[in-house]
């Protein structure tokens, strides 16, 4: 079989020439997120002290754990995030989240005695892995690890608290079709890993005390509170009360040491007010996943059934009255609107549909952000290839244009924006915004 690498390199260069407003760093980052990356055994052996993947919510891999193990057990120790820089394109330092794929044309290996990102035989850039934070080794009284209870992402900027690692949108008729949260939970348990379904508040508070004490440089700046949807009750609590019962004591104990973000249901305004006032939540992520209404119904059947498209979008808009529009940052899953069998057939149609959503929200001062769809094999949409790279490049171009048109500011809670500075690792939206 011919290596796909020369064709991939040609595509990178052609898109860079076609879309001069999107930097090569952002194009390469999107391709790494889209196609995933592999690691040679050497590249993981010579590096020390890096933070491995914590599987903080979804698998975000293009292979199952079982297949990864078959391809090479070293892959199970791969880093969470990698920063590439330099190389023949003189790339500025750019961070991407690792989505493992042993067959990806992108491989990290050793070249000239250093860690390098290869595309076939071409050394594209040097790389480094995110170091283990100073507090990671401290055990909790329960015996659990901080990495399991309060992992960090975004090069240490964000503490990510997945409080409930399942979702009560059960099965293929309710789960978002791109999401493997429930399947990932099962595969982690099956692999014998420590993987806590519902986290104890005492573990969370102890972990945050430790982070607060040992993170003297104050690298961690934000906390995300999240987990799957709760359609009934969990521990006798509704979704709002379940998440508030973590947010409230964190806010009471630590005040504004970290900015609190919540990735939860699109709630009615009165419930949003409780999140803000009682829980100290300052950034609200009622993720709408996909803008097109028909696709929303198909791809998010649980959200459609329990809330509904129109109500979901109305609630996003109304939540701006509580948090302030610039603190409402709903996510969409970039590229999923091209997923077969219902998705758009062309890049332009897919992006322009998504831009209608951007216009709708950005004209109201609300700034959607996006993550990069990764066809996780255990999700309902997992058996198909990712969308074309041009989708992401064109999306970044249009995103930036809308952002500029509406005179918006860089969102709070995401660290710095701009090439060489952005830490958000699951799409390049922060890399392309002006600092």
Please tell me whether residue 81 adopts helix, strand or coil conformation: strand
Stretch that binds ligand SF4, among 1-9, 83-91, 173-181, 322-330 (CB under 6 A): 173-181
Tell me: does residue 381 bind ligand SF4 (CB under 6 A): no
Neighbours of 24 (CB within 10 A): 18
Tell me: does residue 175 bind ligand SF4 (CB under 6 A): yes
Please identify, using beta-carbon distances, which residue of 182 and 220 lies nearer to ligand SF4. Answer: 182
Q: Is 40 left (phi over 0), alpha (psi -120 to 50) or beta?
A: beta
List the x/- string, 226-255, binding to ligand SF4 by CB under 6 A: --xx--------------------------
Residue 153's nearest CA partner among 363, 411, 400, 422 is 422
Tell me: does residue 225 bind ligand SF4 (CB under 6 A): no
Closest approach of Cβ 226 to ligand SF4, in Å?
Answer: 9
Closest approach of Cβ 336 to ligand SF4, in Å?
Answer: 10
Helix and strand numbers (H, E) in the chain are: 15, 13
Stretch that binds ligand SF4, among 169-177, 244-252, 411-419, 426-434 (CB under 6 A): 169-177
| Beta-sheet strand order (sheet of 158-164) | 152-153, 158-164, 222-227, 259-263, 281-284
Residue 235's nearest CA partner among 226, 245, 227 is 245
Tell me: does residue 60 bind ligand SF4 (CB under 6 A): no
Closest approach of Cβ 179 to ligand SF4, in Å?
Answer: 3
Residue 95's nearest CA partner among 151, 35, 147, 26 is 26
Member of 26, 150, 181, 222 binding ligand SF4 (CB under 6 A): 181
Please identify, using beta-carbon distances, which residue of 169 and 429 lies nearer to ligand SF4. Answer: 169
Tell me: does residue 374 bind ligand SF4 (CB under 6 A): no
* Distance of alpha carbon 391 from alpha carbon 350, whole angstroms: 8
User: Which single residue is written with the structure tokens 């005492």?
Assistant: 202
* Distance of alpha carbon 322 from alpha carbon 256, whole angstroms: 18
- 378: tokens are 């255990």
Please tell me whether residue 262 adopts helix, strand or coil conformation: strand
Tell me: does residue 204 bind ligand SF4 (CB under 6 A): no
Tell me: does residue 176 bind ligand SF4 (CB under 6 A): yes
Stretch that binds ligand SF4, among 15-23, 86-94, 131-139, 168-176 (CB under 6 A): 168-176
Member of 39, 96, 169, 370 binding ligand SF4 (CB under 6 A): 169
* Size of residue set near ligand SF4 by CB under 6 A: 8
What DSSP element (H or E) covers 241? helix 239-254
Please identify, using beta-carbon distances, which residue of 124 and 290 lies nearer to ligand SF4. Answer: 290
Q: Which residues pair with 82 in a beta bridge?
A: 96, 129
Member of 78, 117, 179, 313 binding ligand SF4 (CB under 6 A): 179
Tell me: does residue 59 bind ligand SF4 (CB under 6 A): no
How many residues are recorded in the chain?
Answer: 435
Please identify, using beta-carbon distances, which residue of 55 and 169 lies nearer to ligand SF4. Answer: 169
Stretch that binds ligand SF4, among 44-52, 88-96, 128-136, 171-179 (CB under 6 A): 171-179
Q: How far is CA 120 from CA 62, 104, 106, 111, 112, in A?
A: 19, 10, 7, 12, 16
Member of 167, 322, 351, 433 binding ligand SF4 (CB under 6 A): 167
Closest approach of Cβ 262 to ligand SF4, in Å?
Answer: 13
* Distance of alpha carbon 362 from alpha carbon 418, whole angstroms: 20
Closest approach of Cβ 182 to ligand SF4, in Å?
Answer: 7
- 366: tokens are 């609300």
Q: Are 119 and 38 in contact (CB under 8 A)?
A: no
Tell me: does residue 148 bind ligand SF4 (CB under 6 A): no
Of residues 335 through 354, those in contact with ligand SF4 by CB under 6 A are none
Residue 92's nearest CA partner among 416, 422, 419, 429 is 419
User: Contact positions toward ligand SF4, by CB under 6 A?
Assistant: 167, 169, 175-176, 179, 181, 228-229
């Amino acid at each position: 079989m011919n290596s796909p690498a020369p064709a991939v390199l040609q595509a990178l260069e052609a898109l860079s020439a076609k879309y001069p407003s999107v930097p090569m760093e952002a194009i390469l980052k999107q391709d790494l997120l889209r196609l995933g990356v592999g690691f040679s055994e050497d590249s993981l052996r010579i590096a020390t002290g890096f933070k491995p993947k914590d599987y903080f919510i979804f698998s975000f891999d293009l292979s199952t754990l079982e297949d990864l193990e078959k391809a090479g057990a070293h892959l199970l120790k791969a880093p969470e995030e990698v920063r590439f820089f330099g190389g023949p394109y003189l790339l500025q330092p750019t961070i991407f989240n690792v989505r493992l794929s042993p067959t990806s044309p992108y491989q990290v290996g050793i070249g000239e005695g250093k860690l390098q990102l290869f595309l076939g035989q071409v050394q594209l850039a040097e790389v480094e892995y995110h170091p283990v934070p100073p507090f990671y080794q401290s055990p909790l009284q329960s015996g659990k690890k901080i990495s399991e209870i309060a992992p960090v992402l975004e090069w240490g900027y964000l503490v990510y608290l997945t409080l409930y690692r399942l979702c009560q949108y059960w099965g293929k008729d309710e789960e978002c079709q791109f999401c493997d949260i429930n399947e990932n939970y099962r595969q982690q348990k099956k692999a014998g890993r420590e993987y806590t379904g519902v986290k104890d508040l005492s573990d969370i508070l102890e972990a945050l005390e430790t982070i607060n004490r040992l993170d003297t440089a104050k690298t961690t700046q934000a906390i995300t509170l999240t987990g799957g949807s709760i359609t009934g009750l969990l521990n006798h609590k509704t979704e709002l009360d379940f998440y508030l019962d973590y947010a409230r004591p964190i806010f009471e104990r630590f005040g504004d040491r970290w900015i609190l973000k919540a990735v939860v249901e699109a709630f009615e305004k009165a419930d949003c007010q409780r999140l803000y006032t009682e829980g100290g939540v300052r950034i609200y992520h009622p993720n709408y996943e996909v803008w097109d209404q028909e696709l929303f119904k198909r791809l998010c059947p649980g959200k459609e059934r329990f809330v509904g498209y129109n109500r979901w979008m109305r609630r996003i808009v109304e939540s701006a009255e509580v948090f302030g529009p610039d603190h409402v940052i709903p996510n969409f899953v970039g590229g999923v609107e091209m997923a077969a069998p219902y998705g758009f057939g062309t890049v332009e149609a897919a992006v322009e549909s998504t831009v209608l959503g951007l216009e709708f929200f950005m004209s109201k001062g609300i700034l959607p952000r996006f993550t990069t769809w990764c066809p996780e094999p255990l999700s309902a949409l997992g058996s198909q290839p990712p969308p074309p790279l041009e989708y992401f490049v064109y999306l970044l171009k249009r995103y930036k244009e809308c952002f500029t048109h509406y005179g918006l500011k860089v969102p709070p809670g995401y660290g710095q924006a701009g090439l060489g500075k952005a830490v958000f690792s699951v799409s390049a939206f922060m890399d392309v915004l002006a600092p």
